[in-house]
Structure 1
């Protein structure tokens, strides 16, 4: 009788997990992210797999991805700061963060700006990618002049051609070797301007998925400060 109970319980568990994800989840990936960020993101197939879900990453513009999730055209989005659910009616945030990254100030190595004293940078020019809320917040705090571009590659080209003075971002993204001829091209501040948790967002029809992910996502947490 005990063996029968255990088997039934296991079968019910598997069925329950399968029912929360009857189809693969389409998760947004910013088309501007370089290979190093995508490699980090690949590790998150596993927590979804643990709860009986499969994931298909789909490249979309960063500026549109959250709206697409809220509208139900996509199932989720990743590497986003907290609080965005307030702006989208059908968006929920998985409470357990997926990562914590430091956002550094970068400049050309020969530039005279002192990026270790952020308050001295008021009036300097920076580039932000469309839809990046955190970079916008930092730019406002530091009173920077802002130019916008579609992706990080375009922003860093602006930096190297002196169209902007500084760029803001996490090391795994900004220091991808695809963007630079050598590490001598740039220098970063000694400490991050801010360190922030980054989260997975889902359409609210996936509340059970979010609930299950919250229990296990801590095992996959990464940080790079």
Structure 2
């Protein structure tokens, strides 16, 4: 479970880019590394330069994703670090869609100074790509098109007293269910752990725990079929 930080954090180290990183960042990141967790940073409330810890917790990439989804992402700048399932550590950067040009440039300017405080990371994870797998709504019990078709059929159906008597017709052979091409399965199985993490934004073990519909949506987006 993520712990969210509120209030003002005093103290910090001034960086060459103009960012001032809170003294709590180092200890929060050390705790995240020791426990396979994550840490999320952002600007302090009403500040354009002070960077503070806004969330930390366990659960690696899954915990990070859950914590990020509870934030107003469109108007948020995030940095951070996360432990992956392969016992490596990755940087995280995210700039919301509603962030203006000047603020976006400032966030990019502060990025290296902030991430240099989170030591031991190799490479960076695209948080937007990770969150995209959670953007697909679960399928409804009955698709809207099916409901509309049923309503249309009932509206134009003849009255029972005038309905013609039709001879029964043999039931057609059921259509074979589509199957995933063998080439798509081969592509997925051929991905190394690192390639799988880059493609889907999560480990194979975490991906296997997703609902089937969400797996299919992620595979389709990755171009595996």
TM-score bracket for the superposition, by shorter chain length: under 0.3
| TM-score relative to the length of structure 2 | 0.24
Where relative contact order (Cα < 8 A, 6+ residues apart) is larger, the structure is 1
Greater strand fraction, Structure 1 or Structure 2: 1
| TM-score relative to the length of structure 1 | 0.24
